[in-house]
């Protein structure tokens, strides 16, 4: 395009706008300036142009024909309650058009605890299916042929016992491990950054990753040994550049760990897979997947593989959970449809679409059907499968692909300068940057700078209740304990003891493969908890020190009158109280998702509260003891895993039993409105659901404190 033509457009645009069109430039959270107009001039220096699908650097897709040859795999991430209930749910979904299984495990299983462990009373069966032994795994896949069905399992902490149980369940179904297909997430570095369902410290955790890659490379040629996940990073608040950079840097670290085991790169590289979140920035999300393939090829070329497949990035995607809102929830159907289209235009290999009610509770069969049909309609009615790469050559998308790749590469190089991703995680760089980004975005939403329809704009005057799936946690736990007891009664105790001792020996000496030893233990009917504990005895438990970023939320407000009014009110309250108002933000049970807790801690600290960020995985009793010893005025329990009806009342009772019922308890997070009254009836002073404005929450907490002070 000639300079004269561009000048003509600028003049015409200025005439329409009455100001320069430069005022329309949008600064994204990633720091990328998105212009209102892109032309062929913006493609200067875009080196990936001209590449074809199926050829390096695979910007246009890892397969030559992409969806024109075969559509993406439709998956639904699901699991809840017992293995029997989840199995029935899977069968109905498969009959309705789903093509692969993605298993969600409960948090007790994620953290390597059996269902009878006292620390998991509120977690069993709530945010996924409870698996304690091979007996549960066999029921989970009953009458689902594992030689024909691809199974993806989101598991990191207890990855060894879960994969071992899956292998043995396959054997006992008559399917040898070399016939099993699917993916195990096995991405522990991401857990240390954001999701926190780890068990062991980083060094032994990386050994577990490498042992699984080694075992599957030799024994399970159809199985993906790792799914390197950026999804949970974006859910925790990462920008797209951060998600892209840290995910690929994790991948590079895992390749190095596998090579250190003596494997040839071509033995395993083709079975590595990735997992990205797809949010609401439509074109940037599509460009992100294109940039990911481009950069992964660049990274893998460092290891000089001989097979072209070793350079390919293949990915599963899931629509965003954090973009879903509790308010006006049917809007979530529209959000998910746009996100699904973006993932498809970006070239994903498989896709899970979230149900519209997942900001509130586990999906119902009704909501899951809508989510699944979203993909079926995309495949069969929109025509997107007719052309290999519809976005190729777009001035905007190609330019955006390069900008994302360049920005992510700079961050990857920063990680390298620290000594790689394990060192960067140890030093806390990724976690800090992600938490700052999350807090910054929350401030933008609270201020209305980022519009969320139905949340901070176009609000409904009244919200209708929707049907939700409510799991009877007590009944599930009792059912699991009964099967556990029966399994232990029927097994050969000596064989279990011998197998677990061998697993501990492998962990201690470094001789042998942890997964191979765990398979023998699972075959003898050792439980998930027992296998985990056999390694805990050697590796120990990882315990993270909670840290909170500061001056991010407050700096976003500057001289905002409402913000300053709350700061002033807190200062006056401090004088009246004789001390700074003190709040403890608590995470109870095995829920490691701490984005909300960290954002609240950071924002309340900026406002003027003294904030104590409680450690992860506390019991209600431990939280009560800490709150009393630290003389807090308020405990704010953050819940994202559906354990609130068990854990919050237990916390209230624990405080009361210790003579500290003057401490106010409030609860926030993913909590259905139908549960609010239950919590209030059981001693909770206030409930803050998803989408609550932080300043509104701060005002409400101050009102409660002042009311309590007046009544003393």
Catalytic residues: 77, 231-232, 587, 591, 593
How far apart CA 295 and CA 311 sit, in angstroms, is: 10
CA distance 599 to 436: 9
Residue 166 parent element (H or E): helix 159-172
Residue 96 to residue 607: CA distance in whole angstroms: 51
> For 380-389, b where at least 16 C-beta lie within 10 A, e where not — what string?
eeeebbeebb
Element (DSSP H or E) covering residue 399: helix 395-417
Cis, bond preceding 239 (omega within 30 deg of 0): no
Question: Which residue, 679, 656, 650, is CA-closest to 666?
Answer: 679
Cβ–Cβ under 8 Å, residues 185 and 155: yes
For residue 99, give both structure tokens: 């093509």
Selection from 708, 654, 704, 652 nearest residue 683 by Cα: 652
> In this structure, what DSSP letter does residue 662 have?
T
Question: Which residues neighbour 654 within 8 Å (Cβ) at sequence distance 6 or greater?
Answer: 620, 621, 623, 624
Q: What does DSSP assign to residue 359? A: T
**Contact by Cβ (8 Å): 221, 267:** no
Name every residue whose Cβ is closer than 8 Å to that of residue 489 and which is 6 or more positions away in sequence: none
Bridge partner residues of 329 (DSSP): none
Look-up: residue for tokens 């746009």? 338
Task: Report the C-alpha gap between 441 and 280 in whole angstroms.
Answer: 13
Rounded Cα distance between 251 and 213, Å, is 12
The total of other beta-carbon atoms located within 10 Å of residue 197's CB is 25
Residue with tokens 């005022």: 23
Q: Are strands 26-27 and 33-34 parallel, antiparallel or unpaired?
A: antiparallel
Tell me which DSSP letter residue 177 carries.
Answer: G
At a CB cut-off of 8 Å and minimum separation 6, what does 242 contact?
30, 233, 411, 430, 433, 434, 437
Beta bridge partners of 139: none
635 DSSP β-pair partners: 584, 665
The one-character DSSP state at 247 is H
Q: Which of 484, 475, 500, 534 is nearest to 134 (CA)?
A: 484
CA angle 685, 688, 693 (to 5 degrees): 130
Instruction: Work out the end-to-end distance of the chain between its first and last CA atoms, rounded to an integer number of angstroms.
Output: 75
> Tokens in use for 387?
């052309």
Q: Render the burial of 436-455: b for 16+ CB within 10 Å, e for the rest.
A: bbbbbbbbebbbeebebebb
Per residue, what are the HEC states of 114-147?
A: CCCCHHHCCCCCCCCECCCCHHHHHHHCCCCCCC
Residue corresponding to tokens 């069966």: 125
Q: At a CB cut-off of 8 Å and minimum separation 6, what does 509 contact?
A: none
Structure tokens at 92: 């109905």
* C-alpha span between 215 and 517 (Å, rounded): 11
């Amino acid at each position: 395009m000639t300079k004269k033509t561009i000048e003509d457009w600028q003049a015409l645009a200025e005439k329409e706008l009455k100001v320069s069109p430069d005022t329309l430039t949008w600064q994204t959270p990633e720091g990328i300036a998105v212009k209102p107009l892109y032309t062929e001039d913006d493609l200067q220096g875009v080196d990936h142009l001209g590449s074809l699908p199926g050829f390096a650097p695979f910007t246009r897709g890892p397969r030559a024909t992409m969806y024109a040859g075969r559509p993406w795999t439709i998956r639904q991430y699901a699991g809840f309650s017992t293995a029997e209930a989840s199995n029935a749910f899977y069968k109905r979904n498969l009959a309705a058009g789903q093509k692969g299984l993605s298993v969600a495990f409960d948090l007790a299983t994620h953290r390597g605890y059996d269902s009878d462990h006292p620390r998991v009373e509120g977690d069993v069966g709530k945010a996924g299916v409870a698996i304690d032994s091979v007996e549960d795994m066999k029921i989970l896949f009953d009458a689902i042929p594992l030689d024909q069905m691809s199974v993806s399992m989101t598991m990191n902490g207890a990855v060894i016992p879960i994969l071992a149980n899956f292998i043995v369940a396959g054997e006992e179904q008559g399917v040898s491990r070399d016939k099993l297909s699917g993916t195990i997430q096995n991405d522990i570095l991401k857990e240390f950054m954001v999701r926190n369902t780890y068990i062991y410290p980083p060094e032994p955790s990386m050994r577990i990753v490498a042992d699984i890659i080694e075992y599957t490379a030799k024994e399970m040629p159809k199985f993906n040994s790792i799914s390197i996940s950026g999804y949970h990073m974006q859910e925790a608040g990462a920008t797209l550049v951060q998600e892209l950079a840290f995910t690929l840097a994790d991948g590079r670290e895992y390749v190095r760990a596998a090579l250190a085991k003596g494997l040839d790169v071509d033995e395993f590289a083709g079975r590595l897979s990735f997992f990205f979140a797809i949010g609401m920035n439509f074109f940037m999300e599509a460009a992100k997947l294109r940039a990911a393939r481009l950069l992964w090829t660049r990274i893998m070329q460092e290891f000089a593989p001989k097979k072209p497949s070793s350079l390919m990035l293949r990915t599963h995607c899931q629509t965003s959970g954090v973009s879903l809102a509790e308010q006006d929830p049917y809007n979530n159907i529209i959000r998910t449809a746009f996100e699904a289209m973006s993932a498809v235009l970006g070239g994903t290999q498989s896709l899970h679409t979230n149900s519209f009610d997942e900001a509130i509770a586990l999906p119902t069969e009704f909501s899951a059907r809508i989510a699944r049909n979203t993909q079926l309609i995309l495949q069969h009615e929109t025509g997107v499968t007719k052309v290999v790469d519809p976005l190729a050559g777009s001035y905007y998308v190609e330019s955006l692909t390069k900008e994302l790749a360049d920005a992510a590469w700079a961050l990857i190089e920063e990680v390298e300068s620290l000594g790689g991703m394990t060192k960067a995680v140890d030093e806390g760089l990724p976690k800090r940057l992600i938490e700052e980004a999350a807090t910054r975005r929350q401030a933008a939403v609270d201020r209305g700078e980022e519009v969320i329809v139905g949340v901070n704009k176009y609000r409904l005057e009244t919200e209708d209740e929707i049907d939700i799936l409510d799991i009877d946690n007590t009944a599930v736990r009792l059912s699991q304990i009964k099967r556990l007891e029966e399994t232990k009664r029927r097994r050969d105790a000596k064989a279990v003891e011998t197998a677990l001792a061998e697993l501990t020996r492998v962990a201690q000496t470094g001789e042998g493969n942890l997964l191979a030893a765990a398979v023998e233990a699972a075959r003898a009917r050792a439980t998930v908890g027992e296998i985990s504990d056999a390694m805990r005895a050697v590796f120990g438990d990882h315990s993270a020190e909670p840290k909170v970023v500061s001056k991010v939320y407050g700096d976003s407000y500057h001289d905002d009158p409402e913000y300053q009014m709350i700061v002033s009110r807190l200062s006056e309250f401090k004088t009246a109280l004789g001390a700074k108002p003190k709040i403890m933000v608590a995470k109870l049970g095995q829920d490691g998702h701490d984005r909300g807790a960290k954002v609240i801690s950071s924002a309340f600290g900026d406002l003027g509260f003294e904030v104590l960020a409680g450690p992860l995985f506390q019991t209600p009793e431990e939280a009560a003891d800490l709150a009393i010893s630290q003389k807090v005025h308020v405990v704010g329990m953050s819940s994202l895993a559906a354990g609130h009806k068990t854990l919050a009342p237990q916390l209230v009772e624990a405080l009361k039993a210790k003579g500290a019922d003057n401490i106010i308890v409030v609860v926030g997070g993913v909590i259905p409105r139908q549960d609010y009254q239950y919590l209030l009836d059981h001693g909770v002073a206030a409930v803050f659901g998803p989408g609550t404005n932080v300043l509104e929450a701060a005002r409400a907490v101050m009102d409660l404190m002042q009311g309590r002070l007046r009544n003393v």
